[in-house]
Structure 1
């Protein structure tokens, strides 16, 4: 595993546990500030007890988006070490932190639900796209970079690395945006739908930002 992957994996271990806690709090509405902890014998609310089916949109989105996000984190760490441009490094840091945190929440929810983090079904089955042609060269889902593209990013530095990163992340966000919109439409768990909506808003904003950054560098979003 690359050093960047080791850092991301270590962060997710802690974030997965935090995700399970945040799900329970979000579904239960959260405790008022300063409120005392509920008695140990108190039963959790029905919404917390509700567990999605293994083949549900909620479970499928959590699994697939966790994989999708992991690659975004990896690309962000790669470009961070290959440019001195403050704007690109800031964007890479924001993407890495945001998507690692969201990935931890998704994996934490799967733990909370007692559901496996992998499925025998093809990616995107929960969106009715399981019969779509599998991506080539390691690109498992729409928008994901291929192994060849990641290798190239790992070999570049300076302006060329910035441009390729922005192009790859633009495609990545477009694919992620489509998935998040799918969860908004199909997921049943309230906390997960809220997270998906926040992904839609955040990635739309970053797509606009990256389009401007590419224009400043004399490049287009599509290579």
Structure 2
């Protein structure tokens, strides 16, 4: 088996372990006098569902680029992103299981829960996400920040420096979309453990964006707008 296959297996195992830990921690938050279990329409559930999808694509892109370049700096970054986001995804899936809530919400537009925030978050990405969700267009992203199917296919066709640049450009946009969504949870979610995870995402992904911008500059490339 290749290193990528072993890395993928390790990420899945770690995700399952973290999911179990998350279930215990989330359960401790909601004691006899604690807050009620979130319902399917809550920001807590919406964030867990949508960010799990968002994270899964980051993991996919990261394993793609690990097969398309031999640059250790990029491969290390991709491995770190894949491991971190696979683990976090496992935690969020664990919470949904703990709450007895579905992992998908048919008929509900991705990120609709953010409309409850009002102000800066109101309706964030919901119109575009709803359109993408129903169209199935390869040139339309399912949620803000996510790559389209066409972009994923292009990444898989590139190699070396070209693949590194494409990955960095896609992942910067991906992280920025993820930061906006995580900040929505910080503002709206009611489960303290989930809010803490979301704040950690905001801090970590902003830091990684700064790193990726520097890596792009080293390659004579610019951030994609």
**TMscore range, shorter length:** 0.7 to 0.9
Q: How many residues align?
A: 206
The TM-score with structure 1 as length reference comes to 0.84
Partner of 1:21: 21
Instruction: Identify if the C-alpha distance between structure 1 residues 221 and 95 changes in structure 2 by more than 3 Å, giving closer, same or farther.
Output: same
> In the TM superposition, what is the alpha-carbon distance from 1:24 to its structure 2 partner?
2.7
RMSD, aligned α-carbons: 2.5
Give SS of 1:68's match. Answer: helix
> Which structure has the larger Rg over C-alpha atoms?
1
Distance 2:27 2:61 in 1: 32
- In the alignment, which of 183, 186, 202 is matched to residue 184 of structure 1? 186
Instruction: Identify if the C-alpha distance between structure 1 residues 204 and 131 changes in structure 2 by more than 3 Å, giving closer, same or farther.
Output: closer
Deviation per CA, 1:114-168: give whole Å up to 9, x if none.
0000002010110013751223425210010001100000000000000000000
Distance 2:211 2:60 in 1: 20
Partner of 1:109: 95
Distance 2:55 2:5 in 1: 12
More helix by share: 2
Partner of 2:119: none
- In the alignment, which of 43, 53, 58 is matched to residue 57 of structure 1? 43
> Which runs of 5 or more residues in structure 1 are unaligned?
30-43
Runs of 4+ in 1 over 6 A off after TM superposition: 4-7
The TM-score with structure 2 as length reference comes to 0.83
**1:43-82 matched pairs, under 5 angstroms:** 45-46=31-32, 50-82=36-68
Partner of 1:32: none
